[in-house]
Each structure stands twice: as C-alpha cells, then as structure tokens.
A and B are shown apart, each in its own frame.
Chain A
Amino acid sequence: MNDKRKMKISILPYIGILIAFTCFIAAGLIYLNFPSNVNVALYTLGLGIIFIISSMILRPAVLKEVFFSRKTVLWVNDIFLVLTIVGIGVVLSYIGYRRNFRYDFTYNQMFSLSEQTIKVVRELEKSVKVTAFYPQGIAEGTAVEDLLKEYKRHSDRFSYTIVDPVRDPLTTRAMNIKEVGQIVVQCDTNRVDISVSDLFYSPNPYNRNPNDKPKFTGEQALTSAIVNVTSGVKRVISFVSGHGEGSITGFQGRDLGLLNEFLVSENFEVTETNLSDIIDSKVSVLVIANPQQDYLESEIKKIKEFLDQKDKNLLMALDYGYSLPNLENFALDNYAVLFNSDLTVDNRGLQIGQPGVVAPELADHAITKPLKEKKLTNLMYLARTISAEEKTGTRASVLVTSDDRSWGKRNAANNGQIQVADLKNFREGVDVRGPVTLGVAVERNYAVASGSKAVFFSDSDFFSNSLIKQLANRDLIINSINWAAGQTEMVSVRPRILEIPQIDFKPESSNIVFTVCVFGAPLFVVLFGGIVYMVRRRV
C-alpha cells in the first residue's frame, strides 16, 4: 500500500525545485560576471521563481518536504557547517595573505626588495599606478610582475597592471608606448617611463667575460621612478635658443627633439628661452647646447643672474669649430672650466676611418656610476677638449675623458675645414697627449645650501637626434641633467644576477646519472619491496 503511494508521487516537482535553484545560481553568476546584462540575470531569476511556483502547483507540499524533512535539516546542518569552515578558511587565508611573513631562501636574495625601496614604498603618501607592457608568457614579463607584486605587498597605495600590447592595442596606443617591455609610472599628472634597457642588462655575447652576467636592474629603475613621480615637483628644464642651437621640437640630425621626448618621459617640463626676458624662476636647469653664434654680454648677464639664485643649475655643451668667446669666458670666470680649441682624436675612430668619432672613458662620479656598473660606453663626435682649473669655492670632477691613446689636435681646422689627413699624425710639442677631458661636473659654493651645479661637455652631438640613441648616450645626458637638477635622492639598488650556474656535465657523467636515477634507484626499491613481501609471506 505504502509502496503504491510512493510510486504515485511524481518527481517533476523535485526536478522543478532543482532547476529553480540552478537558475538562482546562474542568475547570481551572470550578475557578477556580466554587470551590463542585468536584465538577463533578472530573467534567469524570474525563470527560477516560475519553476518554484510550478513545482508548488504540481505538489503543494513539495517545499515542506524539500526544506523541512529530517534529511534536509541534516543536509542544511552539514552545508552550514561546511560553509562555516570554508569561510573560516577563506578568512585565515586572507589574513595569511595580508599579514604574511616572507623568507627569501635564494642565496643572493633574488626576490627581496632592498630596505631603501621598502622605505620608499611604505612611505607613499599618494597613489602610484604602474602599467607594464608585456605580452603573456615571456620570462622578462614574469620577472617584472614578480617585482611589482613585491612592491604591492608593501603598500596599498601602489597598484599595477600588466597590459599585453598584442591583446590590448588601444591602451598601448593611448599611453603612447614605444616598445614592448616599457613601464609607465604615474602619480597624479606626473608620469615617468622606464625603458627595457633600464630594466635588464645582457652581456655582450661575442666578448663574454665570465664575471659579466645578465642582470635585472628593475628595482633601481622602478624605485627611482616612484621617487621622481611622487616628489610633487615637476622639474623645469629650459633650453636657450636663438643662437643657432638645435631645436627642441625639431627632428633633424643636430636638433634635440628626441632628448626633449626622453626628458618628458623622465617627468621634466621642457621649455625654451631666447634670453630676451629674464629666465623663468621655475626653471631649475638651463641648457646651452651647441650655439653657433656667441651670446651677447647682456644675455650672459641674464644667465649669470639666473645662476646666482638658489637651486639654479646649468648644462653647457659647446661644439668644436665655433667662436664663442663670451660663453667660454663665462664658463672660465664662473666655473673655472676652460673650453680649449683642440679637437679630440681617438685612435679607435681613426682605425674605423672616422677620425671625428670618440669613444670616451667614464670617470668615477654619481652621473657615470650607473653606466659604469652596466659596463656601458658612449659615442661622441668632433669633440673639443676642456680643462677644469682650480678655483676657490668650486669643486670640479671629471666625468668623461678620451683614452690614453688619443690626443688633442691643435689647429685641426684650416679656414674652417678640418684637415682629415693631418689628424692621424700626433705632433710632439704641439698637440696635447691624451687622455683629454671631455666632460666635467662642477659644484659651485658646494659648502652652502645656495650652491649650484653645472655640467660641461665638449660635444653636444652625442645628445642630438643623430647620436642620442647610440650606445649609452641617452643615459649619460639624462643622468647629467638629473644630477644638475638635484635629483640626489635617486636610489641606488644592487642589480640582481639572473644567471643560473652552469654544470660541466660530460657524457660519461650523463651515463652514470642516467644509470643511477633511471635504473639503479627504482630497482633497489623494487628489490627491497620484494624482500619485505617475501618475508611477510613466510611470517
């Protein structure tokens, strides 16, 4: 009798209840994942309600049976318990994630940030957003993401996004990205771009020194960029124009359009001044680059008045072949830097048939340190020579010199034309034996707060459009301007060595390892197991 009654009960209402619950879950998922399709979620929810009502019409007691039977109570009890435990687990995992202790087991602390970086990130007062442009699955991208994760761990004000330039070309174009691997650091309206060459260092594969290993310098670059964008000060750099200088908006070989772009990406505001009025007080670095005509006395006076103010700095690069007595006297009188009329002849330039090419050597200085650490070199063209004299109140440091096989050629030009054939011959007693100085950094009144800085180069071609992308020319000029602008808080973080030690694994060794690992050890385990099994069978 009882069995007969059971058989009459339709399973349709129960299926309806099941479908209804599936609809409710689906509605929730649609709502969470497709916020723009709220209507679809609502329809699904409605469908679930229709199924519930239909089930109740088919069998009015279905809800009572489903929800209030003993089994249901036990199920609910279990589900509640399980959800509670899972919830506690989620909370514990979250606490473990937020308040975590992290120990880096690698011998060179490969995945740990320096104390300096941690301090910078923890003391962030504004939100910093970093966008890295890397396609998925490339090793460099993983290294950068690991680094960004570490930064994120130390501050809620730090956020990052990895954009795949292939999958998201719109964002890539909108952010004016020039290369894959570029990183953009933003804070308020300030922006600093980090190029791939600032992140990774690869040794020359053809001239490999065993101690010269691939390095990841991302932490140094990123922390410096964060310091830069969060400083709250947009440093203004002004280029003097009107005397035949290269244009900062031009893209001819001798113009400075590329330098302008690089400076903007370093969070500088770049302006021009023609010295007709007084120089804007917001300017922190004044650049005199490759004038072809000399400055007037009145203009020199304006420059002098500007530089006599606090925190006003100078970068001057005068090329070979122009008569600029007022400017040269200004440099000599105020900074004790003498621009000579000698042309630097580099033996290596002669060897390649380019007598004007100079491959300078870097001296020890804050400007050149990052370049020396990366073993980078520069390239100059038709550089004159300069000398730093002793002067009370100034401190001069040599930045770049020519090598000891070079010399300074006296009277290299005849009627304005360089006599290339004569350059090859060093004239004892006339020419100046190398190494000759090509760049000098001077600190004036360095002992007092109002002291200023100046950088002098005997060539401006190396940062003009034609050569700025060659070797480390961009780094040399940017570092020089940063130093002159008083960016002394730029951090110095050790690079991370990326190389895994290689093993001298000979074929004989390979055979031994193969035999031991693939045959020996498993066979030993099988034999041991066989003995145990046999002994147990006897027992």
Chain B
Amino acid sequence: MKVLAIMKRELQSFFFSPIAYIVFAAFMTIVGYLFWIVLATSKMATLEPMLYNAAFILLLASPVLTMRLISEEKKSRTIELLLTSPISPAEIILGKFLACFVLYAVLIALTLQYPLIMWYYAPNLDWGPIISGYIGLLLLGGAFISVGVFASTLTENQIIAAMISFGSLVLFWIFGWAKHAFENAFGQMISNLSVFDRYSEFLRGILDSGNVVFFAVFTLTWLFLATRALESDRWR
C-alpha cells in the first residue's frame, strides 16, 4: 500500500505537470518522423526499424524522466522526511520506479498507432515480431528506469544524475561491441551485458526466457543498488 501511495503521488506529479506531455509529444514527433521516413523509403512491412529507433530515443529520454525521482527529494530535503517516516527505502525506490514505469508504459502505448497504421497498408503484416518487440521494449524500459533511479539516488544534482544515467545506459548499450574487440572469454562476458544484443533478439521475433531473466535480474539489481545507496545516506 505504501508503495502504491508513493507511486500515485509520483504519477500525479508527472501527469499534473506539463513535463510528461512535453516529453510524450517530443518522443512521438521524433519516433513518428523516423517511422514515416523508414516506411516511405523502404516500403517494407516491418516495424523492426521503428522499435529499434524508439529504444534508442528512450535511452536518451529515460534519464530525463528519472533524474528528478530522488535527486529532487534530496535537494528539497524532503528525503529526510521520507526516510524518517515509516516507509522503508525499498518501498520508496519501488514506488518511484513503478510510477516511472507506468509513465514509460503510457509512452510505449502511444506508439501502438504505428503497427496499426502499417497493418492498414499491409494486411499480411507479421505480428509476431511486433508483439515480441513490444515485450522487449517494456523490459528494456524497466532496465533503463532502474539505472536512472540508481543514478538519482547518488546525487542531489539532477543534471549529474541524468549524466550518470545516460553514460551508464550508453555503456550497457554498446557493451556488445566488446566481443569483436576482445575475441576471448572476457569479451564474451562483457558483451553478455549488452542490453542492445538482448533487445535485438526480441525485435527479430524471439522471446527467450534467458533474455527475460536477464532484464528482470538487471532491473532488480539496479533497484537493489538504489535501495542500498538511499539507505547509506543515513550513515555516509
């Protein structure tokens, strides 16, 4: 219940302010333009490029959504109230994460217009990769937000939080390149951390429980780190 209360409060602060709508509109303009230009030039009945582009735009947008979650509480000193209230740091983190994830899910839901538009022009559209692509996009969003929440617990400066989050996400996006640079077990180990490689499996239409477990573990680990970082504020 406490988690839901925090989530509700966060969602209200998102949706009752113009920020959410501005982020939504900017995201939809960019993704809509990319969808249109790929469709108009390739004339192919596939949403893979759109889902790939959307994921990359979300990589850029998610630090903006998450940067204020804890940083703002720290800056305005309301975090002390939260931490002294009968709410555990884990509940605070989970509530804020879920609020941001709901916001993200709404953002993703707004892109459902693109498969519908494509289906109108291509009735023989292969829905399989689209369904798995959207599942991948949701899991990827969870991972992005968890990193952002953790970054936000580290500092009271929102810009720094956004930069930490953005840097980490870019790193996890490009970890896959390591397997070409180090053709050994180390390179393979690093590339296994690549969220892009995992996500691209979803885009091709493959739902692999290994990838689902990876995203779940990735998200939970960062949320745990965020909880510990928040908790350590008491003695640091």
Complex contact B39–A33 (CB within 8 A): no
The answer on a CB contact under 8 Å between B210 and A517 is no
Which of A82, A93, A517 counts the most B-chain CB atoms under 10 A from its CB? A517
Q: Per DSSP, are chain A's interface residues mostly helix, strand or loop, or mixed? A: helix
Which of B25-33, B66-74, B75-83 participates in binding chain A?
Answer: B25-33
Please indicate the chain A residues that have their CB under 8 angstroms from the CB of B157 in the complex.
Answer: none
| Whole-angstrom distance between the Cβ of B144 and the nearest chain A Cβ | 17
Contact A521 B21 (CB under 8 A): no
The secondary-structure label for the interface of chain B is helix
B178-220 near A? 1/0 per residue, CB < 8 Å: 0010101010000010000000000011111111111001101
Interface residues of A in 484-539 (CB under 8 A from B): 500-505, 509-510, 513-514, 516-518, 521-523, 525-526, 528-530, 532-533, 536
CB distance from A77 to the nearest CB of B (A): 10
Check B121 against A93 for contact (C-beta < 8 Å).
no
Q: Is A74 an interface residue (CB 8 A)?
A: yes
B124 contacts A by Cβ under 8 Å: yes
Q: Flag whether A253 is at the interface (Cβ < 8 A).
A: no
CB of B113 within 8 A of CB of A102, answer no
Q: Complex: how many Å from CA A101 to CA B220?
A: 21
Residues of B contacting A528 with CB < 8 Å?
21
A81 within 8 Å of B by Cβ? Answer: yes
B16 in contact with A532 (CB, 8 Å): yes
Q: Which listed residue, A96, A110, A525, touches B209 by the CB 8 Å rule?
A: A96
Q: Check if A364 is an interface residue, CB within 8 A of chain B.
A: no
- Complex Cα distance A533/B218, Å? 36
CB pair B110 A525 closer than 8 Å: yes
> Could you tell me if B44 and A529 are in contact, using CB atoms closer than 8 angstroms?
no
Taking CB atoms, residues of chain B closer than 8 Å to A97 are 210, 213-214
Contacts of B122 in A (CB 8 A): 501, 503
Count of residues in B whose CB is under 8 Å from the partner chain: 64
Chain B, 1-35, contact with A by CB distance < 8 Å: what is the 0/1 string?
00000000000000111101110111011001101
Expressed in whole angstroms, the Cα–Cα distance for A513 and B225 within the complex equals 43
Whether the Cβ atoms of A92 and B36 lie closer than 8 Å is no
Q: Which residues of A contact B158 (CB under 8 A)?
A: none
| A136 within 8 Å of B (CB atoms) | yes
A142 to B232, CA, bound (A): 46
In the complex, whether A85 has a CB less than 8 A from a CB of chain B is: yes
B128: Cβ under 8 A from any A Cβ: yes
**Cross-chain contact of A111 among B46, B186, B204 (Cβ < 8 A):** B204
Contact indicator B40/A510 (Cβ below 8 Å): yes
CB distance from A149 to the nearest CB of B (A): 10
| A106 close to B217 (CB less than 8 A) | no
- Is A206 among interface residues, defined by CB-CB distance under 8 A? no
Whether a CB of chain B sits under 8 angstroms from the CB of A71 is yes
Q: How far is the CB of B213 from chain A (nearest CB, A)?
A: 3
State how many angstroms separate the Cβ of B147 from the closest Cβ of chain A: 14
B221 at the interface (CB under 8 A from A): yes
Known pairs A93-B214, A505-B40, A514-B40; list 4 more (Cβ under 8 Å): A105-B128, A105-B205, A521-B32, A532-B16
Q: Residues on B close to A: CB < 8 A? A: 15-18, 20-22, 24-26, 28-29, 32-33, 35-36, 39-40, 43-46, 110, 113-114, 117-118, 121-122, 124-129, 131-132, 180, 182, 184, 186, 192, 204-214, 217-218, 220-221, 224-225, 228, 231-232, 235-236
17 CB < 8 A contacts A-B: A33-B186, A71-B236, A89-B217, A100-B208, A100-B209, A102-B207, A105-B207, A106-B128, A502-B45, A504-B43, A504-B121, A516-B117, A517-B33, A517-B117, A518-B33, A529-B18, A529-B25
